[in-house]
Amino acid sequence: MRLWILAGAVLLLPLLACGERKAQAQTSVSITQTNEPGCTRQRSLGPQDPFQNPPPLKQACVGPYLLEIPQHLFYRQMGTEFDGSFGLVLQYPGLQPFAPGERMNLKLDVSMRTVAFDYRYIDRIELHQAMRNAYIPIWGDPEDPSRTLEGRIVGESVYGLLPYYADLPRIRAYKARQGMRADAPVMKADWHQDWFITRDAAGEVDRLIRCTSREVGGTGVVFRDGLMYRDRGTPYSECTHQFMLPEHSTLVRITYVRLGLKDWQQIEDKARALFFDHLVSPVQRPS
**What pLDDT, in 10s, does the model give residues 172-230?**
999 999 898 999 999 999 999 999 999 999 999 999 999 999 999 888 999 998 889 99
Please, which residues have CB within 8 angstroms of residue 205's CB and are 6 or more apart in sequence?
131, 132, 135, 197, 198, 199
Tally DSSP H helices, then E strands, for the chain: 5, 14
pLDDT of residue 10: 46
Vertex 62: Cα angle to 56 and 64 (nearest 5): 110
| Mean confidence (pLDDT) of the chain | 89
**What pLDDT, in 10s, does the model give residues 228-262?**
999 988 899 999 999 999 999 999 999 999 999 99
Percentage of the chain modeled with pLDDT above 70? 88
Q: Are 128 and 204 in contact (CB under 8 A)?
A: yes
The pLDDT of 92-111, averaged and rounded, is: 94
Q: Which of 247, 273, 2 is nearest to 122 (CA)?
A: 247
CA distance 25 to 221: 49
Please report which confidence band the pLDDT of residue 287 belongs to, taking 50, 70 and 90 as the band edges: low
Statement: residue 83 has pLDDT above 60: yes
Please, which residues have CB within 8 angstroms of residue 43's CB and are 6 or more apart in sequence?
29, 30, 31, 32, 33
Q: Which residues pair with 116 in a beta bridge?
A: 89, 255
pLDDT of residue 24: 46
**What pLDDT, in 10s, does the model give residues 118-154?**
999 999 999 999 999 999 988 778 889 999 999 999 9
The pLDDT of 160-167, averaged and rounded, is: 97
CA distance 148 to 164: 9
The pLDDT of 60-72, averaged and rounded, is: 97
pLDDT of residue 164: 98
Please, which residues have CB within 8 angstroms of residue 87's CB and are 6 or more apart in sequence?
74, 75, 116, 117, 118
Q: Which of 235, 221, 158 is nearest to 189 (CA)?
A: 235
